[in-house]
Structure 1
C-alpha cells in the first residue's frame, strides 16, 4: 500500500472481533492503526455481519480493501473459525460490503507478522533472557478462546509467517497430577489436546478437576472468576488451577520451541496471559519451559517474551 492507501484490518477470535484502519506513512515500515472498535462475537452471527457493523461506523471514508485475521485454518479466500463454526468467504465479503479486495489469514499468523515491529517495554516484556540469534526462527503462541501457534522464519532479508494448528496437538502430561487430569478429561472428551487446557474454558476444566481431586472449592466458577480470585489470593483451589495452567503453558511452549527450532525466541500472546502476568513470576512456567532433559541447554539459550500490546495482530494483518 502507498501512503495514500488505507485498509480495514481485523483480528477475529472466539470471544471478540477487533477492527481498525491501517495506514502506512511514507518512510515507515510499521503501519499506524486507527479507529479501533471491538465487537463481542456473542452479539453477532458471523464474520460478514460483524464487518458490516464496523463499516457502518466509518461513513463515507471507508477503505476498499480488507485484511481479516480469524482464529482457525485459512487460505487467502476461505476460512473457518474453529471455536464458533463460522465460515468466511472473501468473495462473499467483497460482494456484501462493496469491497475491491478481501484477504483472510490466520490470527496467530497475523500476530507473528507483527513481532518484527514490537518494542520491548511498550509492546512486550521479557520473561527470560536468551542468546540472540537474528537468523533463528521465532515461535509465537498463546491461550485465548483457543490456543494459537505460528512460526516466523527468516528468509534472506524477509520474515515468512507459517500459521499452524499446533494447539490441537495431543497433550503430553509431565507429572502424575497432569496424567490424572488428562485421563479424567479423556473419559469425558476423547481427544485431549494442548488447547483442551490452554484456553479460557481450559482454566475452568483444570479448576473443576482440582476441586474434585482435593475435595474443596466451588466447581461452578467461570474462568474470569477463577483468575480474579487467584490474583487476590482468596481461594486456594483457584490459585492451584492458575499455577497448573501456567505450568502447562511453560511445558507446551518448550515442546513447541523444540519442534520449531525457535532459536530466535518465543513470544507468548493471546488474551489470558497479560491478565495474569503478575502470577507468572511465582509459577514454574520458565522452569517447565527448559525442563526437557538433554535439551535443557538448548532451551536455556532461547528468550521468552510476553506480548502485552492489545492490538498487535492488527499490525500483522496489515503487513501480511
Structure 2
C-alpha cells in the first residue's frame, strides 16, 4: 500500500483526539492487523495465522499487547474496524472458511471498544478501489475506465470474494455480495470434465470450489485423472511453484484452467454490474502469478461473451498489487461511522 494511496483517502479526516484506531483484515488463513495512529498514518502491520489462536478476540488482543503496538497506544484503542472473509448479517458470525465464531457486540464489550465495525472483507476492499494509486495496480489487457461508472471486484485466495462499487451523488456504495458462491458454469470440454470430477465430491460446485487455493488442488486432481496420471499429494503453493518454474506441464495446465475460469467469472461480474469503470482482481493467488497471468487466457475469456465481446473489450481489468489495500477501505468505513455518530 503506498503512502500516496493512504494520504489521498485520509487527508481530510479529523484528528484522532480519542487515540489510535485498530484496523483488521481477517481471512480464512491469516488475520492482518494495523494501527492507524493519525490521519494518513497506517502502520505496525502484523500478520497472525488464524490457526494459532482459538478466537478472533484472542488474535486481536495478542496484536494489541505486542510491545511495539502497546507502545503506540494499542491498549487505549476505542474504535476498531474489522474486515472479515464472511457474510456479515446480524450480530453473530460463523466463519465459512475457518472455525472462528463470535458475537460482534460481545467482542466489542470484551475488548473495551466504544466502536466496533465489522464488514465483509470484499466490501472493505471495494471501498479502497477509487483510492488506489497507479503503483498499487497493474492493468491486464486493453480497455479504458469510464468516470462515474460502477467498479467490479473479484479475488481468489482461501475463498472467492466478489463485490462492486456503485457511484451515487458523489459517494460510493459497496455491495455486500457473496457472488463467489454462484454455481460454476463450464465453457469448454476441459471445464466440463473438471466439473464432472468435482461433482463426485460436492453436490453443489460453486465458483469458489474451483477459484481458490483448494480449488487449484481440485483442478489438479481432475486434470491428472483426465490425463491418466497419478496425482501427487501437493498443495496449491507447490502447484503454483512448479507451474511458474516450468517444472510441470500438468501444473501449468492447472494454472491456465484457473485463469480462464477466472476470466469468465470476471466477465460475468462486469456485465452484471455494468462495470465500465473497470474490474479489479484481489486475493492472494493472482498477484503471485505475475507475468504468467498476463500470458494466460484470462483476458480473452473475459471478453468471450458472444454479442457482448465488444462491450467487454472496453472494460479494463486490473490486478491489485498493493500489499494491504483492505485497510484503506476499513478506515474509510470506520471514519464514516464515527462521523455519523
**1:285-319 CA distance string (max 9 Å, x none):** 00000000001111011000000111000111111
Q: Is the Cα contact below 8 Å between 2:193 and 2:222 reproduced in 1?
A: no
State the shift of 1:277 in Å: 2.0
Distance in 1 (CA, whole Å) between partners of 2:231 and 2:143 is: 40
**1:25-71 CA distance string (max 9 Å, x none):** 3xxxxx43111000011111221111111111232612211100000
State the shift of 1:88 in Å: 3.1
2:275 to 240, 262, 270: 262
RMSD between superposed Cα atoms in Å: 1.5
State the shift of 1:85 in Å: 3.7
Match in the other structure for 1:50: 59
Distance in 1 (CA, whole Å) between partners of 2:42 and 2:246 is: 37
Q: Are 2:164 and 1:175 aligned? A: no
State the shift of 1:91 in Å: 1.4
**Bigger share in helix:** 2
164-173 or 183-192, larger mean C-alpha shift: 183-192
**1:226-254 CA distance string (max 9 Å, x none):** 00000000111111101111111111110
Match in the other structure for 2:132: 118
1:227 to 223, 227, 240: 240
Q: Are 2:185 and 1:159 aligned? A: no
State the shift of 1:24 in Å: 4.7
Distance in 2 (CA, whole Å) between partners of 1:49 and 1:20 is: 16
Distance in 1 (CA, whole Å) between partners of 2:307 and 2:126 is: 29
State the shift of 1:79 in Å: 3.1
Q: Are 2:260 and 1:247 aligned? A: yes
Distance in 2 (CA, whole Å) between partners of 1:234 and 1:101 is: 51
Q: Is the Cα contact below 8 Å between 2:151 and 2:279 reproduced in 1?
A: yes
The unaligned stretches of length 5 or more in structure 1 are 26-30
Distance in 1 (CA, whole Å) between partners of 2:94 and 2:139 is: 33
Match in the other structure for 2:322: 309
Distance in 2 (CA, whole Å) between partners of 1:22 and 1:273 is: 28
Match in the other structure for 2:105: 91
Q: TM-score scaled by structure 1?
A: 0.94
Distance in 1 (CA, whole Å) between partners of 2:191 and 2:287 is: 24
Match in the other structure for 1:100: 114
**1:156-206 CA distance string (max 9 Å, x none):** 111111120000000010001101111111121110000010000100100
Distance in 2 (CA, whole Å) between partners of 1:161 and 1:119 is: 19
Q: Is the Cα contact below 8 Å between 1:153 and 1:160 reproduced in 2?
A: yes
State the shift of 1:219 in Å: 2.6
State the shift of 1:95 in Å: 1.9
**1:127-180 CA distance string (max 9 Å, x none):** 123233112110011100000001100011111111200000000100011011
Distance in 2 (CA, whole Å) between partners of 1:315 and 1:81 is: 23
**1:266-289 CA distance string (max 9 Å, x none):** 000001111112211221100000
1:40 to 26, 36, 49: 49
Q: Is the Cα contact below 8 Å between 1:13 and 1:81 reproduced in 2?
A: no
Distance in 1 (CA, whole Å) between partners of 2:92 and 2:143 is: 38
Distance in 2 (CA, whole Å) between partners of 1:76 and 1:316 is: 20
Secondary structure at the aligned position of 2:241 is classed as helix
State the shift of 1:6 in Å: 2.8
Distance in 2 (CA, whole Å) between partners of 1:314 and 1:87 is: 22
